[in-house]
A and B are shown apart, each in its own frame.
Chain A
């Protein structure tokens, strides 16, 4: 991949409002920090190559490279990305009841991996009011505390980077597709570091169609709840088309169209709904609020899911044909729209010497997706 530095990152991502605030560039150095849902650059850095650039999921992402690296084949048009299986799941009896959304699959997987020693800590996203807060969980209780959906873009990878700084080398991460993409880049040692060893032992990806900008969301909600304390936020599976905000003064419902107004433009370039570079991806299941959809992608992902089932952490079932078709349709739609937009705006496969772009992928694949 082509690696540039902070100045180019500023120009290509920050100044073009493409930053989603995933946290991948934060805490690697003294210059990038997350604050209230946004990534801030404290001081300029003049290095020509930096990890901030290399990890960023919004610039110079070479999908073929990454796919070769993790799945041994170039990137293909499959709307779900490379995968070994798609099933439905929920937390098993070994997982204490949390306030998790849907089936609790993610909490179950992380609790299992931690209890078995597959990971020593998990980089997760907690919430303070509406504000997503990255957390490094080192116990099952910590994991369950972070269980609910956030719907806001979140700098989860700050917690990952801080964990690496602290010397952790067996880390589990739960992230959205953009975060999982950043992790994939990080794990492929883009800077060619001689002493590199992959510190990430499990990546659980979350399905995502979009996330809202925290600061705008906060202002939007604050106006409507007048000082009440938020206890939970939920978007029930389609066709509900509402967001439910639970507060200590009761529940309010907001039409999703109003919420979509708060989605940053950068999400419209995202080609990935199901976190295609994870070990395991998890999302909601249409029509079944008690269950999740679960996609296994890697060998180690498959192994963990299997063991978790055997040890009572996870309950698995087959996915219905209609559900699978709908999932493929939704993911394909997102991918196609994003590729068309990126292509129209000249953000794919820049060729000139020294030119930089958003995504690199074989042009044939792009044409197949767009067709």
Chain B
């Protein structure tokens, strides 16, 4: 049984931030939880999915974030506490519904958890979701440690029911993917009965129609709700202050930056000079609390990641309060004290604070720093990202690259995020030339495919993963077919949402909760749209490349090639190697004319190693996954594969 459903009050576990959020949802009695996978948010749904049946909750990986939020909203409307979870980019996808939902209001408590990724550790941008809370006028909470990540979720549900609107909780990678000790509370009894009451007076919030109309009335109501939230925030247990009565410098912070700031104060030993106001409620800001603290200091340092959200909101309050609290000096992102981009860490906060309090801080003695500096960087050669050994994408992009080079008309590939986004790098032969939001490859290709009349004559390909196909590719394809745009979509179908950890998607026969579900066939959808559809195994390099060239030359509008091969990290593949790979040293041409290390220099699979002494390639058996593809790359047949018995 999962420790997440241990009902011992006070039991202490080491939990990942995301697990703490999941536990918080359980303690709050959430009954409907859904989302779309995206690092760093995915573990929340994953850990709940595992125990969904035990806890009688409904957990779903939805087709995309907008649908996830809609499914969760149905739960709230039916009187069930519900939660939807996504990474920052997902909030953009969901934002159309989000605006409507914030206007219509909710019934049973509903919480949106957005996990931002400052520094874009596993994202294609440094999206900032906090502005959505201000934009659509809903309350925003940010947990400042792991215990809070749990406790705050429960509190968010209560707040949501108090104001009858959605509450947003924003985590970050360093909270979601970090772990710490968390003390458990009680789990509530599980009996519920879902019913949607809609026969009441049309404007009745609990029994009428759920909508943002009439707009003037509902918008005013919404603003009353957010005002009420601000009042509740004045006494919120997640806002705290540590430090002297009248600090020389006041740090205002939230989220993981709370831990960095606390540590920075300790490292510099300025506990008696610097105060730390840690806010758990960052929209709307509680004005009285802020006034109290701002009035006791002259210098304020705002420590936050991504955009200066807190900084701007505090400054607005300070401007309004200036006659009472006086003129203050602000440090933060705007004046460059805190870096404008990238994630923070204790050292960056130490640096910012040291500058303000005038301390010359050195992390290690000069002598040691010089020694460390003296060790050449070549002793730890850089590790460029690469596809895993045995990754189908390496084979797929090999064929795509070669097909485009053979064609010779400067063709290119449009794509989006996903493991295959690394095809912008040498591991994917630098084939991918545009990379944007999920499904954007198809949309952009649809545009390029219509530029023929304006002189454009380059072949256009788009790529997407199987999960992405369902998420956002289909409307782009409909657009392409409808407008007779000429391009080839390659669906890199590796049977799961691989990058985020094999979450199921609509193409599979099993749901997040492990139940049998109806699978939706990508090929059938494309055929129904009128596209020419081919299906190949990307490990068959020759056939894949030939098919690609044939499709590229076929001018008949939208063509779809589905390249089907399971991810090398899937449990199925990891269970065992298909082939044992060896190299025949006698045959290997190495650096000679006729090969010049095509396997290690160009194909670059981590399972192959160039042996400088013997001047031949070796297989690293620990790393090689035995896919066998490199045998077909070798011009001399020196790489041998033998089927594992």
Do A42 and B596 form a contact, CB below 8 Å, given A29-B635, A35-B549, A47-B591?
no
CA distance A50 to B592 in the complex (A): 9
Chain A residues near B594: list those with CB within 8 A: 28-29, 51
- How many angstroms from the CA of A50 to the CA of B591 in the assembled complex? 11
Contact A29 to B549, CB < 8 A, known contacts A35-B406, A40-B408: no
Indicate if A46 sits at the interface (CB-CB under 8 A).
yes
Indicate with 1 or 0, residue by residue over B587-610, a CB within 8 angstroms of chain A CB atoms.
000010111101000100000000
Interface size for B (C-beta < 8 A) is 17
CB contacts (< 8 Å) of B408 on chain A: these are 35-36, 38, 40
Residue B505 interfacial (CB < 8 Å):
no
Could you tell me if B593 and A41 are in contact, using CB atoms closer than 8 angstroms? Answer: no
Pair A50/B407 contact, Cβ less than 8 Å: no
Which chain A residues (18-47) contact chain B, with CB distance < 8 Å?
28-31, 33, 35-36, 38, 40-43, 45-47
Whether A40 contacts B405 in the complex (CB less than 8 A), given A30-B598, A30-B635, A47-B596, comes out as yes
CA distance A368 to B406 in the complex (A): 42
Decide: A29 and B405 in contact? CB cutoff 8 A: no
Contact residues in A for B405 (Cβ distance below 8 Å): 33, 40-43
Query: Is B406 in contact with A46, judged by CB distance below 8 angstroms?
Result: no
Residues from chain B with a CB closer than 8 A to the CB of A45 are 596
Tell me, yes or no, whether A231 is within 8 Å of chain B by CB.
no
User: Across the interface, which residues of A come within 8 angstroms of B406, CB to CB?
Assistant: 33, 35-36, 40, 42
Does B401 have its Cβ within 8 Å of any Cβ on chain A? Answer: yes
A41 proximity list for chain B (CB < 8 A): 405
Minimum CB–CB distance for A25 against chain B, Å: 11
Please encode chain B, from 484 to 523, with 1 for each CB lying within 8 Å of some chain A CB and 0 for all others.
0000000000000000000000000000000000000000
Query: A40 to B406, alpha carbons, bound, how many Å?
Result: 5
**Within residues 190 to 231 of chain A, which ones have a CB less than 8 A from any CB in chain B?**
191
The complex places the Cα of A49 from the Cα of B405 at a distance, in Å, of 23
Do B402 and A29 touch across chains, with their CB atoms under 8 A apart? no
Q: How far is the CB of A227 from chain B (nearest CB, A)?
A: 13
Contact with A along B423-462 (1 / 0, CB 8 A): 0000001000000000000000000000000000000000
A42 vs B429: C-alpha distance when bound (angstroms): 10
**A29 adjacent to B593 (CB under 8 Å):** yes
Main secondary structure of the interface of A (DSSP, over half): loop
Q: How far is the CB of A185 from chain B (nearest CB, A)?
A: 14
Minimum CB–CB distance for B243 against chain A, Å: 60
CB-CB under 8 A from A33, the residues of chain B are 402, 405-406
Contact mask for chain B residues 272-306; partner A; CB cutoff 8 A; 1 contact, 0 none = 00000000000000000000000000000000000
**Contact yes or no, A47 B593, CB < 8 A:** yes
Chain B hits for A43, CB < 8 A: 405, 429, 598, 602
Residues in A with CB closer than 8 Å to B402 are 33, 42
Contact indicator per residue, chain B 404-427, by CB within 8 Å of chain A (1) or not (0): 011110000000000000000000
Give complex CA distance A35, B408 in Å: 9
A35 and B459 alpha carbons, distance in the complex (Å): 15
Cβ-defined partner of B401 (8 Å) among A30, A42, A51:
A42
Question: In the assembled complex, how far is the CB of residue A39 from the closest CB belonging to chain B, in whole angstroms?
Answer: 9
**Are A30 and B593 closer than 8 Å at their CB atoms?**
no
Residue interface bits B577-591, CB-to-A below 8 A is 1, else 0: 000000000000001
Q: Give the residues from 515 to 557 in chain B that come closer than 8 angstroms, CB to CB, to chain A.
A: 549
Q: Tell me the complex Cα distance, A261–B594, Å.
A: 37
Contact B593 A35 (CB under 8 A): no
Q: Given A35-B549, A43-B598: A28 and B407 within 8 A (CB)?
A: no
B633 at the binding interface (Cβ < 8 Å)? yes
Known: A41-B405, A42-B405. A28 touches B549 (CB 8 A): no
- Chain B: CB-nearest residue to A38: B408
Given known A-B contacts A35-B406, A38-B408, A42-B405, A28 and B596 have beta carbons under 8 A apart: no
Contact between A30 and B633 (Cβ–Cβ < 8 Å)? yes
Query: Measured between alpha carbons, how far is A302 from B283 in the docked complex, in Å?
Result: 96
- Separation in Å of the A194 CB from the closest CB of chain B? 13
Contacts of A51 in B (CB 8 A): 593-594
Q: How far is the CB of A108 from chain B (nearest CB, A)?
A: 35
- Chain A residues with Cβ under 8 A from B429's Cβ? 43
Q: In the docked arrangement, what's the CA distance between A31 and B635, Å? A: 10
Do the beta carbons of A35 and B401 come within 8 Å of each other? no
Which B residues are in CB contact (< 8 Å) with A47?
591, 593, 596
Q: Considering only CB atoms, which chain B residue lies closest to A50 in the complex? A: B593
Chain B residue with minimal CB distance to A44?
B602
B407 and A35 contact, CB distance less than 8 A: yes
- Please give the distance in Å from B429's CB to the nearest CB on chain A: 8
C-alpha gap A33/B407 in the complex (Å): 11
Residue of B nearest to A54 (CB): B593
CA distance A30 to B398 in the complex (A): 12
Interface centre among A42, A45, A191 (most CB of B within 10 A): A42
Tell me, rounded to whole Å, the shortest Cβ–Cβ distance linking B205 to chain A.
Answer: 64
Can you name 12 extra interface pairs (CB under 8 A) apart from A36-B408, A51-B594? Answer: A29-B593, A29-B594, A29-B635, A30-B598, A31-B598, A35-B407, A35-B408, A36-B407, A40-B408, A42-B406, A43-B429, A43-B598
9 A-B interface contacts by CB (under 8 A): A28-B593, A28-B594, A29-B595, A35-B549, A38-B408, A42-B402, A42-B406, A46-B596, A47-B593
Q: Which 10 A-B pairs have the closest CB atoms?
A: A35-B406, A30-B598, A40-B406, A50-B593, A30-B635, A43-B602, A42-B405, A40-B405, A29-B594, A45-B596
